[in-house]
Structure 1
Amino acid sequence: MGGGGARTSGQLLGPWGDFGSPPQKGIITYSLSPNRQRPLAGTAHAAIFNVFRRTRQQVLYWAPPLIAGYYLMGWAIERNEYLNSKAGRAEFAEEE
């Protein structure tokens, strides 16, 4: 009884979920036609304002570490360039 229409006791058994019985009474269903639905209505507007709101609320969590990392990286690059320069090698030659 895979999916074809098999007859059992005078009643037609259709594919899965459609057993050929009369429709139930008292069940009302509403639907919109596909050309009336707008699944992405307001998405761009909401996205812009949600990004702004979330950024404003979370900026104190990610901005200080970002700024500290930026300055730390700048210091490390400058220090590395000095230590690998002629003056830096002459100053710290006896330590190595």
Structure 2
Amino acid sequence: MGGHGPDPKHGIYLGGWGNLGCTTPQKGIVTYSLSANRQRPLAGAAHAAIFNTWRRFRHQVLYVVPPFVAAYAAMNWAVERNEYLNSKPGRLAEGTEE
């Protein structure tokens, strides 16, 4: 049970309790790190922004454009109708006098 000597079955040293491992340095363990000032936090941000914006626009355009077109058409009709009703021919057509 985690003895202090060589393992009789495999012939390797397990180490004492709380100190498991072998007496030789471990091999084959590689660690990589990158300094904070070498990282590129905005790498690809412009490219992603352009294509992400296009994707989002393409998926939302049919929800946004038709109401704006309808509102513009209604407003344009209302402005033209108001200008007509406040003109001399419009007042005569409605039967009101100046």
- Normalised by the shorter chain, which TM-score bucket? 0.5 to 0.7
Q: Who is 1:71 aligned against?
A: 73
The higher radius of gyration belongs to 2
What secondary structure, in the 3-state scheme, does the structure 1 residue paired with 2:38 have?
coil
How many residues in Structure 1 have an aligned counterpart in Structure 2?
66
TM-score for both structures, normalised by structure 1: 0.61
Which among 33, 52, 67 is matched to residue 54 of structure 2? 52
What secondary structure, in the 3-state scheme, does the structure 1 residue paired with 2:37 have?
coil
What secondary structure, in the 3-state scheme, does the structure 2 residue paired with 1:32 have?
coil
Give unpaired runs (5+ residues) of structure 2: 1-31
Q: Who is 2:8 aligned against?
A: none
Give the distance between the partners of 1:42 and 1:79, measured in 2 at CA.
Answer: 52
RMSD: 1.8
Which structure 1 residue ranges, 4+ long, deviate > 6 Å from structure 2? none
